[in-house]
Structure 1
Amino acid sequence: MNLDVIFLVLLALVVLFAILLLAKTVRIIPQARAGIVERFGKYKETLPAGLNILVPFIDRVRYLIDLREQVVSFPPQPVITEDNLVVSIDTVIYFQVTDPVAATYEIANYIQAVEQLTMTTLRNIVGGMDLEQTLTSREDINSGLRGVLDEATGKWGIRVNRVEIKGIDPPPSIKDAMEKQMRADRDKRALILSAEGQRQSAILTAEGNKQSQILNAEGERESQILRAQAEREAQILRAQGEGQAIQTVFQAIHDGQPDQSLLAYQYLQMMPKIAEGDANKVWVIPSEITKALEGLGSSMHEITGIPKHSGGPRVRVDMGPTEAQLPKPSGDPELTSAQKAVEAAIAEAAAAANPGKRVPAPAEPPTDPASAEPTGDQPGA
């Protein structure tokens, strides 16, 4: 019984030792990892990803290095600018381990080393810039940090891919001053744009008024010219008409050869015109009018300077038709009857206007249209 227990204990120990030996011999490295193997405390080899066989109890995986690109965000750090202003800058570093052996044995803690190097380099770069340049030159700061860090970390087996500045925070007083400055700058630009707009508007308005006044002046000038031309032509036409009227009257008087009776009748016609008007209280009758009345009442006396009988033939001036000219009736019986009715109405109106004068009856319309045309002047009695 005791032998069986001892055998089982020994068997369990052997199995346990075999499992431990297998665990020390076989080592599985994950993808994108690298294992640093040491033998008796000395570097032996670097294990790649996958299944690896080690010498148990002699070889040992000391470090497991991550070969992927890593992102490290550093807390904000106070940095003094060239114009003695303290700003708070926080950065982000993107780096990757390219040499696991160097990253293990060349530097004790490469993440802390990168952080400190970033802070010192950032202070050197920002210290040569003023606040305005610091706020507007992020790309220059990133490039400068990346160059310095890549050069310094190359011997550590680390490659810095990117350096980004997350934020640059000036003091609250500086923020307030910057906001006031920006507000004042925007107000100034707004006032400048408003003034330029008003100036352009005034210029355009003045140009429009100028063009309007020029056009109005040109229109007024042309209008005055046209009115003057029209007035001149009207005066010329009136003068010509008056001249023709005077010439016609003068010619008619000379052609008619007026005698004593006609001039006496003209004197009688002028008497009512002399008496016209409210201001004519007293008026003088010319002596020629009395003599004309005497000559009109009796043909025994003669007025001085006026012949009793004019010599030579008398010519009656053709004054044109005295009756309304109606269109000649056509062959239509209805139109002929209408024409006759119109002529009869005209005759009746003339008879009513002159009761003592005989009005000839309307004549039959001539069959030949040429016979109805006037033949010219007719001699008087």
Structure 2
Amino acid sequence: MPVALVLFALLAILAVLVLAKTVRIVPQARAGIVERFGKYKATLPAGLNIVVPFIDKLHYMIDLREQVVSFPPQPVITEDNLVVSIDTVIYFQVTDPVAATYEIANYIQAIEQLTMTTLRNIVGGMDLEETLTSRDQINSGLRGVLDEATGKWGIRVNRVELKGIDPPPSIKDSMEKQMRADREKRAVILTAEGQRQAAILTAEGSKQSAILNAEGDRESLILRAQADRESKILMAQGEGQAIQTVFQAIHDGRPDQSLLAYQYLQMMPKIAEGDANKLWIVPSEIGKALEGLGSTMNSLRGIPDEVEGPRTRVDMGATAVDATTAETDRSLQSAHEEVAAAIAAAQESAAPTHAARPAAEPDLPSPADPALGGDPGEAPAQ
């Protein structure tokens, strides 16, 4: 009985081992390479697979996903004999698991070495300036060469990127100085451009300001000249109208010699109104003076001794004097009376002077004298 149990246990263990060797589970995005007696037999897809136990062997498990490999910086000599360090990143994917397994022993190392040699070949034909500014060109060249070389290995290179291009420290310092000089140059140029634009704008502003000021002065002078002209025209028109009015009034009043004598007597007190005139002496010859004035006025053209009838009016357009002949006579009579009173007052004030003079004085003309415009029937005022 115990022997039967041992055999059953051995058979169970053998069955489990056979089952374990028969069933193979391949993960997603993986491919299994099966060999039979050391020779390639089949490629197992993802999922559950059954193989012949103890005959077929799952030798390799290939990852079919896109992989990323970063290579360390490699020294590369440029065309102008400068050493730069370049590190790259390769993006690739296994498309044929059998070729990747049996065509190349280590495809990662093979890609790294191929990248280094291709990079040195491409960068060797460029100078430093072109190398620093031609990343896309270098990436495209690397990708084309790698994709062509790795195609027979069952690998497709999707993308190649340059992580960094590091020139020597001395070259970095020189480049920094050059960049600093270029920036300072651009700054000076921009400053000069700004100053030039500012000067141009300032000059244009000054020009416009001067033009506007000149135009303003011109308009001001024109307006001031027009105002002066209109003012002078108005003043001349006013003076002309005043002269016409006075001239019309003279013609309307029909003046004679007695009116002129009366005006002379009215001006005599105004002569003594000055502060320097402390003493005013009426000459005894005032009568002769008045008589002489009357005789002189007789010779003046246009001033008759006696006025007979109304004179011809001067036509002044809209100006008219509505005075009757009776009113004119009354005004003349009043003027004669005032002249007579003024002559009497002058004779009384001149009495002391007559006493002091030994010579005889001529008699003053009577207010009734026709030369003074008085009434012949009135008695002289003493």
TM (normalized to structure 2)? Answer: 0.69
- Contact map agreement 2:256 2:305 (CA 8 A) in 1: yes
The higher-RCO structure (CA 8 Å, 6+ apart) is 2
Matched, 1:294 2:283: no
For each residue in 1:246-287, what CA deviation from the matched residue of structure 2 results, as whole angstroms up to 9, or x when unmatched?
Answer: 444445446533315633642661675599587x99xxx9xx
The Cα shift of 1:296 comes to: 7.0
For each residue in 1:307-333, what CA deviation from the matched residue of structure 2 results, as whole angstroms up to 9, or x when unmatched?
Answer: 4982114879xxxxxxxxxxxxxxxxx
Q: Which consecutive residues of structure 1, in runs of 5 or more, have no partner in the other structure? A: 317-373
Residue type matched to 2:106 in 1?
A: N
Q: Which consecutive residues of structure 2, in runs of 5 or more, have no partner in the other structure? A: 312-320, 331-382
Paired with 1:223 and 1:302, the residues of 2 have a C-alpha distance of: 55
Structure 1 pair 222–27 and aligned structure 2 pair: CA distance change class (3 A): closer
- Contact map agreement 1:153 1:159 (CA 8 A) in 2: yes
- The sequence identity of aligned pairs, in percent, is 71
TM (normalized to structure 1)? Answer: 0.69
For each residue in 1:202-223, what CA deviation from the matched residue of structure 2 results, as whole angstroms up to 9, or x when unmatched?
Answer: 2223222222222222222222
- Contact map agreement 1:36 1:47 (CA 8 A) in 2: yes
Matched, 1:74 2:67: no
For each residue in 1:33-76, what CA deviation from the matched residue of structure 2 results, as whole angstroms up to 9, or x when unmatched?
Answer: 22222222222222222333333333222222112211111112
Paired with 1:247 and 1:143, the residues of 2 have a C-alpha distance of: 111
Q: Which residue of the partner structure matches residue 328 of structure 2?
A: 379
Residues 55-70 of structure 1: matches in 2 within 5 Å? 55-70=52-67
Paired with 1:125 and 1:49, the residues of 2 have a C-alpha distance of: 41
Q: Which residue of the partner structure matches residue 368 of structure 2?
A: none
Q: CA RMSD in A?
A: 3.7
Matched, 1:200 2:212: no
Q: Which residue of the partner structure matches residue 186 of structure 1?
A: 183
1:305 to 296, 299, 302: 296
Residue type matched to 2:328 in 1?
A: P
Structure 1 pair 276–112 and aligned structure 2 pair: CA distance change class (3 A): same
- Contact map agreement 1:260 1:306 (CA 8 A) in 2: no
- Contact map agreement 2:94 2:154 (CA 8 A) in 1: yes
The Cα shift of 1:237 comes to: 2.8
- Contact map agreement 1:259 1:307 (CA 8 A) in 2: yes
Q: Which residue of the partner structure matches residue 173 of structure 2?
A: 176
Task: Describe the SS at the equivalent of 2:329.
Answer: coil
Task: Describe the SS at the equivalent of 1:129.
Answer: coil
The Cα shift of 1:155 comes to: 0.4
Q: Which residue of the partner structure matches residue 338 of structure 1?
A: none
Residues 10-29 of structure 1: matches in 2 within 5 Å? 12-29=9-26
Structure 1 pair 253–45 and aligned structure 2 pair: CA distance change class (3 A): closer
Paired with 1:200 and 1:240, the residues of 2 have a C-alpha distance of: 59
- Contact map agreement 1:88 1:169 (CA 8 A) in 2: yes
Residues 26-37 of structure 1: matches in 2 within 5 Å? 26-37=23-34
